[in-house]
């Protein structure tokens, strides 16, 4: 077992900037894995209870599996957690493709499972939605946190509140425009200095990638019968929370919805919101726990 060493990962300028962030003060033991997929080898971190039910997590846009793993420390006592870098995002892969459903399916098979609990944040939620359409039988339960792929992005609000200030910041390097752009995504109740520093590193060293614009076909969504929990941030400027939750309830056959109060699109920079989401995820995963255990025994048997 190793300890997380951010300097060993790609995009060193970024990870050096967040290595002292509060999220990384508690070190986590993990295994480093590589799995062959239709898009090549993918980098995965594995931590938690080896006897627990398997959970695979897909991170949000412009993040890494290292950062993502720290957001779910509360799952590690009871679950066997796998977090993978996403193709076309930060990390080890950068190939542009829309084959995320097949890619996620390959990862689950490559890890030796027939099905897993799937958690996805934002861009990572889109990966799970594509997996729902490609191979719904590989999902025990799914958790989608402010996911792309259910409704369309509020392009005007995103452009006005984030992209224009970010462009001005790039030209002028004036901090006020940086913070205005950050506020479109983040409401941080922790250390504002740490929050701004982390976001600044992402803005300075990461070229943003275009997110998916297509939405799920209701017919395809109906093919996935596994329980699904969908979160939406009350103050999310990328998606209307009310429209997102209504569409999720209408799209997925067996769904629960949860509105995160006083939360923007990127939830996990807020300590309070992070605890709230993890609490609700654990509650959701423990529902019908005896049925899930039977399924898991069938998976690993």
138 and 273: one domain? yes
111 assigned to some structural domain: yes
Q: Are residues 60 and 198 in the same domain?
A: no
**Cβ 38 vs Cβ 106: under 8 Å:** yes
Q: Are strands 29-37 and 79-84 parallel, antiparallel or unpaired?
A: unpaired
Residues 175 and 221 occupy one common structural domain: no
The helix (H) or strand (E) run that includes residue 136 is none
Domain boundary residue among 186, 205, 224? 205
Q: At what angle do helices 192-205 and 175-183 cross, to 10 degrees?
A: 100
Asked if pLDDT for residue 155 goes beyond 80, the answer is no
Q: Assess whether 228 and 162 both reside in one domain.
A: no
State the residue range of the domain holding 173.
155-205
Q: Is the pLDDT of residue 17 over 80?
A: no
Asked, for residue 300, whether it belongs to a domain, the answer is no
State whether 142 and 193 are in the same domain: no
Return the pLDDT at 301. 31
**Identity of the highest mean pLDDT range in 11-20, 26-35, 122-131, 200-209:** 122-131
Pair 56, 183 in one domain: no
Nearest-angstrom CA–CA distance, 30 and 125? 23
Asked if 173 and 116 sit in the same domain, the reply is: no
Q: Ranked by mean pLDDT, which of 42-56, 178-192, 276-290 comes out on top?
A: 42-56
Q: What is the mean pLDDT of the chain?
A: 75
pLDDT of residue 82: 97
What residues have CB less than 8 Å from 82, skipping those under 6 apart? 33, 44, 45, 46, 54, 55, 56, 57, 111, 116
Residue 301 lies in a domain: no
CA-closest candidate to residue 81, choices 53, 114, 113, 61: 53
Determine which of 41-50, 80-89, 160-169, 204-213 has the lowest per-residue pLDDT on average.
Answer: 204-213
Last residue of a domain, one of 173, 205, 237: 205
Q: Where are the beta strands (DSSP E) in the chain?
A: 2-3, 29-37, 40-48, 53-58, 79-84, 116-121, 139-145, 228-233, 255-260
Both 41 and 168 in a single domain? no
What CATH number does residue 45 fall under?
3.40.50.1820
Structure confidence by residue, pLDDT tens digits, 200-242: 666 665 555 544 456 777 677 778 899 999 998 888 878 888 9
> pLDDT tens, 84-140?
887 554 333 434 445 788 999 999 999 999 999 999 998 889 899 999 989 999 999
């Amino acid at each position: 077992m190793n300890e997380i060493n951010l300097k060993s990962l790609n995009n060193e300028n970024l990870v050096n900037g967040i290595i002292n962030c509060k999220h990384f003060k508690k070190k986590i033991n993990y295994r480093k894995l590589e799995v062959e997929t239709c898009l090549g080898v993918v980098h995965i971190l594995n931590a938690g209870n080896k006897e627990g039910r398997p959970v695979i997590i897909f991170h949000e846009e412009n993040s890494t599996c290292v950062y993502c793993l720290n957001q779910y420390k509360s799952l590690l006592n009871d679950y066997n957690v796998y977090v993978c870098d996403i193709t076309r995002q930060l990390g080890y892969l950068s190939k542009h493709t829309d084959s995320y459903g097949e890619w996620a399916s390959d990862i689950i098979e490559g890890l030796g499972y027939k099905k897993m609990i799937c958690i996805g944040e934002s861009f990572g939620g889109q990966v799970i939605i594509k997996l729902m359409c490609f191979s719904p039988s590989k999902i025990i339960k799914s958790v989608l946190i402010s996911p792309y792929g259910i409704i369309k992005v509020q392009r005007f609000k995103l452009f006005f509140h984030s992209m224009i200030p970010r462009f001005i910041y790039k030209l002028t390097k004036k901090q006020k425009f940086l913070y205005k752009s950050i506020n479109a995504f983040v409401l941080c109740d922790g250390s504002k200095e740490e929050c701004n520093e982390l976001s600044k590193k992402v803005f300075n060293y990461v070229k943003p990638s275009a997110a998916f614009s297509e939405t799920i076909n209701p017919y395809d969504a109906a093919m996935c019968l596994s329980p699904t929990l969908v979160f939406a941030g009350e103050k999310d400027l990328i998606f209307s929370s009310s429209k997102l939750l209504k569409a999720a309830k209408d799209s997925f056959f067996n769904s629960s919805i949860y509105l995160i109060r006083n939360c923007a699109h990127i939830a996990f920079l807020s300590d309070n919101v992070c605890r709230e989401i993890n609490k609700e995820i654990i509650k959701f995963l423990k529902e019908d726990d005896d049925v899930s255990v039977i399924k898991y025994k069938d998976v690993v048997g």
